Amino acid sequence: MIPGDRLVETALATSPADETIVMVTDSAEASLRWAGSSMTTNGSARARGATILAIRRTPDGAHCGVVSAPIVDADDIGAVVAAAWAAAQQAPAAPDAMPLIDGDDTDPQWGDEAVGTDVEVFAPLLDGLAAGFDDTDALYGFAHHQSTTMWLGTSTGVRRRWVQRDGSLEINGKRGGLTGASAWVGAGTVDFTDIAMDPLRAELARRLDWAGTRVDLPAGRYETLLPPSVVADLMIPLLWSLDGRGAEEGRSVWAGPGGTRLGEQIAALPVTLTSDPAAPELGYAPFVVATASTDSVSVFDTGMSASRVDWLRDGALHALAYPRAAAAEFGATPTAPGENLLLTGGSTADVDDMIARTERGLLLTTVWYLREVDPAVLLLTGLTRDGVYLVEDGQVRAAVNNFRFNESPVDLLGRATEIGATERTLPREWKDWFTRTAMPPVRIPDFHMSSVSAAH
């Protein structure tokens, strides 16, 4: 197979466009699935693709054609280049047009081969899974690993290469058959060597033990403990809302009187919400990669350096995402959106510490089916799933029924009365789109369970 860097150079050399951006990706993935405490499927796959952005500069602006297609060898790239150039002929002038990023050096790994993966990556899990299959509780779950190597080249000299490796493990435990008690645990990883199966299985068993007693509760506002995974699922929509244009134009929760809410105190406690491409085990490409323009990112910024951003600092709104065109329009600093999310600055407490200090409340272990209701306040609605528990006098006493809830992550930060120690965690709802998070447990004094749900 022709190396990715050579495909990029071939596309750039043959493109008739005034300017060209080429992205070649080589993706390998492996998966492992089990059900009813038995392995069901495993496999691996590999694919290569290219995205070509052809730009036609005219007196009325820049016209950009974007085409993505699978690529097998060098002969395939010419058709993609031609299709992108044809699309540029029909495209209107881009409102976010800017000069392309200049490149004056080449990534030292530019000529390296793709980094793959296969089912052998799951070897650290197998003994722990096999031990779990011998238990009386039925285990269901899925492990997934993906390694994507990307080469980025532009006609203005940018030459960047990045390898992104991400893995996830989800285990659902059931006791009493498919309609009995159910609990979920998950973990994110780079290569599975850092996942300890025994503690995960012990946590599943503990949650299923808690469900040995059941109590029905009405809808209402409850003091609620949110473990790191739930906090991640609630904070990710907040990250996605942090575009400067929406705030400047009054279309988002970050709009303020006459401008944005930059500098305003958002969180009740002095926490920091960060995206950082250099975060250990959570890293992402330290440069912008965009195949389409949005309010947060522009294709014309492809290749621009991306660095750490504190979206909240000491509880105050500190930054918003601005492509270069929007930054120029609004007098802001160009800021790339993040591809990981870390909430830090809490105490050293873990979930068990917070349970021990709870007189009466709920422990909410996972959420799903999150949807945005009102962008003006970032109101979300969602359902609880696989374990809501009643806490009384510092102990978990019983499982309770599921609820629908209505909450804004912005309001939750403003009402939180305790934030614990940050740890790497796997969001459940957004796992297919966003896995790189580190979050603390959070105590909310009045979490709004808006109605009882019949979900099991």
List, for residues 324-363, the tens digit of each pLDDT value. Answer: 999 999 999 999 999 999 999 999 999 999 999 999 999 9
Count, residues in the chain: 456
Query: Could you tell me which of 32, 31, 40, 34 has the C-alpha nearest to residue 140?
Result: 34
Report the topology of domain 4-208: PmbA/TldD fold (3.30.2290)
Give yes or no for residue 85 having a pLDDT over 80. Answer: yes
Residue ranges per structural domain of the chain? 4-208, 214-455
Closest CA to 416 of 268, 231, 234, 253: 268
Q: Kindly report, residue by residue over 109-143, the tens digit of the pLDDT.
A: 999 999 999 999 999 999 999 888 888 889 999 99
Instruction: Give the pLDDT score at 162.
Output: 98
Starting at the edge strand that comes first in sequence, how are the strands of the sheet with 272-275 ordered?
316-317, 309-313, 272-275, 341-344, 437-439, 423-425
pLDDT at 97: 97
**The pTM is what?**
0.96
Mean pLDDT of 13-26: 97
- Is residue 222 a contact partner of residue 405, using CB atoms and an 8 Å limit? no
Query: H helices within 260-408, ranges in order?
Result: 324-330, 351-356
Mean pLDDT of the chain: 96
The two structure tokens encoding residue 189: 């990883």
pLDDT at 369 > cutoff 90: yes
Q: What confidence score (pLDDT) does residue 13 get? A: 96
Tens of pLDDT, residue by residue over 192-242, are 999 999 999 999 999 999 999 999 999 999 999 999 999 999 999 999 999
Question: Rounded to an integer, what distance in angstroms lies between the CA atom of residue 404 and that of residue 294?
Answer: 31
Give me the amino acid identity at 154: T
Average the pLDDT over 309-315 and give the result. Answer: 98
Q: Is a pLDDT exceeding 80 seen at residue 456?
A: no
Residue 258 has pLDDT above 90, yes or no: no
Instruction: Tell me the torsion sign for CA atoms 263, 267, 272, 273.
Output: negative
